[in-house]
Amino acid sequence: MEMRRLGTTNLTVSAICLGTMTWGRQNSEAEGHAQMDEALERGVTFWDTAEMYAIPPQADTYGATERIIGTWFRQHGGRDRIVLTSKVIGRSPAFPWVRDGKACLDRRNIVAALEASLQRLGTDYIDLYQIHWPDRSTNRFGVRDYQISDDAAATPLAETLVALDGLVRDGKIRHIGLSNETAWGTMSFLKLSEQMGLTRIATIQNAYSLLNRTFETAQAEISHYEQVGLLAYAPLAAGTLSGKYLDGAIPAGSRRAIDQRRSRYDTVNADAATAAYIDVARRHGLEPTQMALAFVHQQPFVTATIIGATSLAQLKSNIDAFDLTLSPEVLAAIETVHQRFPNPCP
């Protein structure tokens, strides 16, 4: 398994990160345990979760994924073999069941979220603790047009960073990261850490796939020069790049079948772009999903690619994709499609 350095830290992680957000909703505890067994057997020792999971989020599955990971640790031991990440949610009216609907990124909320995650996970530390999304109003989850708004209720970035730094000093988290963050937010955190002598941001977890390469516009340069590597989530665009949603299809048991929220990958040009990428893969004798994963893996600003699956067969196929090296011909064909359909699903 290829190992890569996590930002400027002394920690190395597997280039594949195991996504877990279906466990507790689409997947049972037993199925989650089987996926962890398979991942560890294949050398995938970097695992990602969040307090909010399982997805789609709802009150009765809040924290379920962390509990499933925790029962695996209690049964198997070996916590030291895994680089474990989790996340704390930012301000949002969509989660009234989290901390009495007052979740935000101040110290009280961060400490409460972390302590609950540690208890569910059955561990006394988390290797990488990430801000799931900013407190302030900004573009995320497919929003295209930035709207300036009053963010008087947003927790100041410095306050959030001080809280996280304190938890690093306490030994409860080892490193910190961002998620669903902008270029301005990333650079602001980096500047604050330097000015205030606080823990430096190691990573950023944002969406990145053939259907959404917006990270390249500004964030990739930051990742390169500031060594804040991308943990690429949704590399298959929530399953869209498999082709299973083409022409309006919604297979039983799929993410779109159980999630009533409109998918950020259900856009005007999504079908056309997906079909074009599938055609590229088939013309070159590749599985479409494996080509899509290999493309993300080969980007120089990517530290790890987060893969999720609802079956062991999918998980095995996804891991196999990282043995591929896409040829210049395939990359050129991908770029041709990208020029025709640039970022249809931001």
| The pLDDT of residue 150 | 66
Residues with a catalytic annotation lie at 53
In angstroms, the CA 223 to CA 204 distance is 8
Residue in 50, 49, 53, 47 with CA at minimum distance from that of residue 17: 47
| The pLDDT of residue 142 | 66
- Tokens read off for 247: 């022409």
- pLDDT single digits (tens) 14-24: 999 999 999 99
| The pLDDT of residue 77 | 92
What b-and-e string marks burial along 74-101, b requiring 16 or more CB atoms within 10 Å of the CB?
A: eeeeeeeebbbbbbbbbbeeebeebbee
Give the H/E segment covering residue 164: helix 157-169
| The pLDDT of residue 224 | 96
| The pLDDT of residue 19 | 98
In angstroms, the CA 73 to CA 119 distance is 12
- Tokens read off for 255: 């993410």
Strand partners, 302: 230
| The pLDDT of residue 144 | 72
> Could you give the domains of the chain?
3-205 (3.20.20.100)
Strand partners, 126: 173
Low-confidence residues in the chain, pLDDT < 70? 142-143, 150
- pLDDT single digits (tens) 29-71: 999 999 999 999 999 999 999 999 999 999 999 999 999 999 9
